[in-house]
Structure formats: structure tokens, C-alpha cells
Structure 1
Amino acid sequence: MLDYFVSAAVTMLVVLDPPGLAPIFLAVTSGLSTEERRRVAWRSSIIALGILAMFGAIGAPLLAALGITLPAFRIAGGLLLFAISFEMVFGRRTERKSENAEAMMREHHLHHLSVFPLAIPLMAGPGAITAMMLLAGEAKGDPTRLAGLFVITALVVAACLAVYLAAERMNRLLGVTGNAILTRLLGVVLTALAVQFVMDGIRAAFLTG
């Protein structure tokens, strides 16, 4: 059982990669105040945890019932991530924020940002969801192992939240110019990650087909 818990902890840490989320969080929340960033961090973490817990509990039978394969899920996640990376590279996000300056529109934007791309697909993405379903399957219905898996997942998501909250310090160090450069560079990185998701999905589809 100890081996299972260690394997689950290492797998979820590697898949979610909390330290790697800090610069991406800064990039996609550029232009937000400290309080708004904090709210987005909490919401996205809670949403991601809920999604991962749900897929750990009923993910495999749910996708099977809908006729959705894991490769198709991975391709969809890659395409969604590509859309947001395109906006980051060309500065469309900043333009849209300046156009939607009214309070209610901004609140809507914060809710949207918490769900996409932070909760999905950066935290609860195809890799994390797949890992969660596989680890839940390895538990073979053992309540202790399943409970341990959910606790481990909650702790890893909490680590992501801590990274998000600490990212504000990095934002102050970078300044306006540094954040603009970082947003473009990470947009390119996210584009490559999105393409990799799609390629992995296509490869897996051919192998399973």
C-alpha cells in the first residue's frame, strides 16, 4: 500500500508540476490586481480538485458511456490550450480586457479565467485526468487506497495554489515590460505544449486503433 501511495504522489506531482505553473499563471492573469489574482487562484484550484476527484471516482465509466476515448480527450485539451496560447502570443487577451472594462464584464472574465485555461486544461488537463483514472483503477476499489489518492491529489492541488499565491511576488519583480515579454514567450511554449497534446492523442489513437 505504501508503494501505491508513493507512486500516486510522484505521478500527480510530475503531471501537475506546481513549480512550472507559476510563470504560466502570471502570463494568463496579466493585468489583474493582487486581489483578483488571489480569487482566480482559489477558484481555479477548487475547480481543478473537483474535476480530478470526479474523474477519479467515475471518469472511466463516464467516458466509456459517452463513447469518448482518452486520445480524443487529449486532442480536445490540446486544441483548447492552443486557442489561449494564440491569444497570449498576439496580445489579444490584453486588448479584450481593455474593451471589457465594466465591473460585471470583468467579474465574468475572472470566472471564465478560473475555469479556462487554469483549471482546465493546465491543472486538470488530459494528462492529470488520465493519471487520476489510472491510479483509481489500480486501487481496485480499496476504500483506503482511494481515500489516500484523493488526499494526495488535494495536497498536490494545494501546492499549486501556494505557487499561484506566491507568483505575485514574481510579478512585482518583472514589472510591466517583463510581464509583456514573459506572456509572449510563454504563449509560444503553451503553443508547443498544445501541439504536443494533439500529437500524443493522435499517436495513441493510431496505436489503440
Structure 2
Amino acid sequence: MAIDFTFSMKVFSSLFAIMNPIANIPVFLSLTEGMADGKKRAVAATTFIGVTIGCVISVTVGETILNVFGVSIEDFRLAGGLLVLLIALDMVHGSPSAQHTPQRREVGASGYDQDVAIFPLTTPLLVGPGTIATLVRALSVCQGDGNRQTSDGYDTGSNRGRNDGRKLDDNIQGFSSLARSVIDGSLNRYD
């Protein structure tokens, strides 16, 4: 069994761009601010283990889990994009995101979130919808399933008709229009 280095580099570069570990260094530093060096190393090790487990689960049973719930890869990516949009809108407005701000019951006696290694570092920052979708698609390409290529070169692993591609394009265009109107409406409030 020969290793396809071109495909391996495509998957690695996709995962590196989606996980973006360099940009997450400031997030890690801000979440572990005030912790002892040993505790920071423990958080980093727990995050590494969590990311590894999350990626292995995504590759091995990710498509099965999505199929059980009747969710396609495209639907999963769209839902993840909506979550990112909501977080971005909160950031534009200057209000803290409920997804990234721990509740009082989640903060330990020391005043720090005790589970920053799992949430938000492991998931959703490093192993989020983009990472899971990329891993599931890469596995479908390795297995040779499906007959449709997406714009980024990955096979979707589905045997759908041509109309599904048009439906997805229509959904994406509708989502883009909705996002533009929400952003325009949000920005008009501050004029």
C-alpha cells in the first residue's frame, strides 16, 4: 500500500488551516493566564489528547453518526458556519459570546474555568464542524466512495443526483443573502 503524498499534504494543509494552531496560541494564553506553568502544560497535554481522540472518533464513526441523525456533510458545515456567524456578530457588537464565556457554575473556586482544555480549546476551536467534515470527507476519498467532487477537491461520499448540487448552491446563496441582511441591519443600528 503506497502513501499518496499529494493527498496527505492536501488533508494536512486543510486540517492545519481549519484548526489554525498558530492563531489559537493567544486564546490558549488568555485562557490559562495566571495558571502555574505545570498547570498550563497539563492543559496543553489534555488538549492534545482531546484533539487526538476527537479526530479518531470523527474518522472512524463520524459519517455513521451524521447518518444516524440524517445530517449530510453539507448540512453539518452550514450549521457550523451559522454558529461561527453568531459568534462573529457578538464580537462585532462588542458583547461577550455566550459560547466562549463560562457561566458562574462552570468556574471553579480559583476563579478559572477548570475545563478549558476540553471546552473551548479542544472543541469547538480545534475539533469543530470544519475539522470533522474534513476528516469525514477525507475518509470517503480514501475508501473511494461517491462520485461527486466539491470545489475543494474532496469527494462528498454520496451518490446523489445533479439537482442536489443546485439545491446546495441555492441554500448557500440564500444563506449569504440572509447573512448580508443581518450584518447590514446590525451595522445600520450603529449609524
TM tier, smaller: 0.5 to 0.7
Contact 2:59 2:135 in 1 (8 A): yes
**1:24 maps to 2:30:** no
Letter in 2 for 1:34: D
Measure the CA separation in 1 of the matches of 2:172 and 2:60: 26
Larger radius of gyration: 2
**1:120 maps to 2:123:** yes
Measure the CA separation in 1 of the matches of 2:142 and 2:63: 13
Secondary structure class of the residue paired with 1:20: coil
Contact 1:28 1:88 in 2 (8 A): no
Unaligned runs of 5+ in 1: 143-202
Structure 1 residue 26, shift from structure 2 partner: 0.8
2:10 is matched with which residue: 7, 10, 30? 7
Contact 1:16 1:123 in 2 (8 A): yes
RMSD, matched Cα: 3.7
Secondary structure class of the residue paired with 1:31: coil
1:35 is matched with which residue: 11, 34, 38? 38
Letter in 1 for 2:109: A
Letter in 1 for 2:76: L
Secondary structure class of the residue paired with 1:32: coil
Contact 1:71 1:204 in 2 (8 A): no
* Cα offsets for 1:63-98 (capped at 9, x unmatched): 11123341465157538967x975589xx76x959x
* Cα offsets for 1:163-189 (capped at 9, x unmatched): xxxxxxxxxxxxxxxxxxxxxxxxxxx
Contact 2:87 2:97 in 1 (8 A): no
Unaligned runs of 5+ in 2: 146-167, 175-191
**1:78 maps to 2:84:** yes
Structure with the bigger RCO (C-alpha within 8 Å, sep 6+) is 1
TM-score between both structures, scaled by the size of structure 2: 0.58
Provide runs of 4+ in structure 1 moved above 3 Å. Answer: 75-82, 84-89
Measure the CA separation in 1 of the matches of 2:169 and 2:14: 20
Count of residue pairs the alignment pairs up? 139
**1:137 maps to 2:134:** no
**1:66 maps to 2:66:** no
Measure the CA separation in 1 of the matches of 2:109 and 2:15: 38
Measure the CA separation in 1 of the matches of 2:47 and 2:79: 20
TM-score between both structures, scaled by the size of structure 1: 0.53
Higher percent of residues as helix: 1
Secondary structure class of the residue paired with 2:48: helix
2:109 is matched with which residue: 94, 101, 105? 101
- Cα distance change, pair 116–79 in 1 and its aligned pair in 2 (3 A): farther
Percentage of matched positions with identical amino acids:
21
Letter in 2 for 1:37: K
Q: Please give the residue correspondences for 1:142-153 in structure 2 after superposition, counting only pairs within 5 Å.
A: none
- Cα distance change, pair 60–113 in 1 and its aligned pair in 2 (3 A): same
Contact 2:77 2:133 in 1 (8 A): no
